[in-house]
Structure 1
Amino acid sequence: MEHWNWLIATHAVAAGYVLVLGPLNIFRRAKDTVHKAVGFTWVGAMYYVCISSFWITHDGGFSWLHGLSAFTLLTVTLGLISAIRGNIAAHRGNMIGSYLGTATAFAFATLAPGRRIPALLAEDPATLAFAAALVLASSAALFLTLRGLTRRNLPYAPKRECAPGPAV
C-alpha cells in the first residue's frame, strides 16, 4: 500500500468530523449556540476536505470526486450565506445536500477497490479503528463541551424563565 502522507491523513480525519458532526446538527431539535459552534466547526472541516481533495489524485488525474468538491464548496458557501441572511430553508437545503454529497463520496472512497481506505482496512485495521475512535471521541467531546457551556449561565446563553415565587 502507498504510504499515507500528512495531506491524505488530515483529509481523512476532517472528512470523519464532517460525517460525525453533520447529523448532530441536522437531527438536533434546538438550533442554538451549540448548533452555531458545531456548524462553524463543520463548515471549516468541510472547506478543508474540499480544498485538500484537489491535491489528492488517483492515478494522477482528477475524478468526479473533484467535481463534487468544487460543487460542495459552492453549496456550503451558499448555505452559510443563507444562514447569515436568515433564509433558513435555503440554509437547511444547502447544508443537508452538502452532507449527503460527502456521505456519497465517503461511500465511494470506502467501497471502491484500489482506494486507500479499503487497503488500510485490509492491511492495518487497528490503525483505521484507532483513527475512527479518535474522530468519534473528539467529536463527542466537542459536542458535550459546547452543550455544557450553553447550559451554564454564561452571557451568551439564553436565560431560563423562573416560576414566580410566593409573595412576601
Structure 2
Amino acid sequence: MFLEPLIVAPVQVQVHLIAAIIALTLGPINLYRRSRDIAHKVLGYIWVGAVAVTALSSFLISGIGIIGPFSPIHILSLWALWGMWQGVSHIRAGRIHAHSATMRAIYWWAFGVAGLLTLLPGRRINGMLFGEREVVGLFVIAIGLAALGLRAVSSWRSGRQS
C-alpha cells in the first residue's frame, strides 16, 4: 500500500476518504449486529454523519467533469443523501423494516459501486493499493460487480431488499 497519493492529496480528498473509511467500517458492524440497543443508535448517528460527510465532500472533488465539475458518480452522492434522509424518516415513523432495508441498500449500492469505481486505473485509490499494477483494479471491479449482482439476485429471490 502506497500512502503518498493520500498524503499529498487536497484536504477535501483526505476528508472524503477518512469519512468513507469510517462509514465502510461502521456499516457492517451496525447493519448486521443482532442487538438494536443504545450502541446501535450511537453508531447509527456516527454512520449517518460519516455517510453525509462522504457524500457532501464528493461535490468538492472533481475528476471527470461531464456536467461542469460533476460526473455520474455524483449521482450516487445525491442518492446516498436522499437515502439517509429516507432511512432516518423511516425509523422515526417506526417503520423498522423499511429503515433497515434503506440503510443496507445505501451501504451496498452507494458505497459498493462508488468504492469499486475508485479502483479504476488512474484513480488515486488504485495507485495506493496496486501501484504500478493498475490493471488489477479492473479485475477487482469485475469481482465486486459480480458479488453485488449475486447479492441483488439473492435478495430479489428471497423477497428482501438490499
- What TM-score does the superposition give when structure 2 sets the normalisation length? 0.71
Unmatched 5+ stretches in structure 1: 124-168
Question: What does residue range 112-127 of structure 1 map to in structure 2 within 5 Å?
Answer: 112-121=120-129, 122=131
Counterpart among 77, 100, 104 of residue 92 in structure 1: 100
Q: How far apart, CA to CA, are the structure 2 residues paired with 1:64 and 1:88?
A: 31
Q: How far apart, CA to CA, are the structure 1 residues paired with 2:24 and 2:56?
A: 17
Letter of the 1:42 counterpart: W
Deviation at 1:26? 1.4
Counterpart among 39, 45, 48 of residue 53 in structure 2: 48
Deviation at 1:89? 1.1
Q: Is the 8 A contact 2:24 2:111 kept in 1?
A: yes
Q: How far apart, CA to CA, are the structure 2 residues paired with 1:41 and 1:102?
A: 16
- Other structure's SS at 1:7 match: helix
- Other structure's SS at 1:105 match: helix
Bigger relative contact order, structure 1 or 2 (CA pairs below 8 A, ≥6 apart): 1
RMSD of aligned alpha carbons: 1.6
Deviation at 1:59? 3.7
Misfit runs of 4+, over 6 Å? none
Letter of the 1:58 counterpart: G
Q: Is the 8 A contact 2:48 2:84 kept in 1?
A: yes
How many pairs were matched up? 122
Q: Is the 8 A contact 2:64 2:71 kept in 1?
A: no
Deviation at 1:41? 0.1
Q: How far apart, CA to CA, are the structure 1 residues paired with 2:64 and 2:37?
A: 44
Letter of the 1:108 counterpart: L
Question: What does residue range 13-162 of structure 1 map to in structure 2 within 5 Å?
Answer: 13-60=18-65, 61-100=69-108, 101-109=110-118, 111-121=119-129, 122=131
- What TM-score does the superposition give when structure 1 sets the normalisation length? 0.68
Deviation at 1:120? 2.6
Unmatched 5+ stretches in structure 2: 133-162
Q: How far apart, CA to CA, are the structure 1 residues paired with 2:32 and 2:103?
A: 12
1:4 aligns with 2:9: yes
Letter of the 2:86 counterpart: L
- Other structure's SS at 2:9 match: coil
Deviation at 1:4? 0.2
Q: How far apart, CA to CA, are the structure 2 residues paired with 1:106 and 1:66?
A: 13
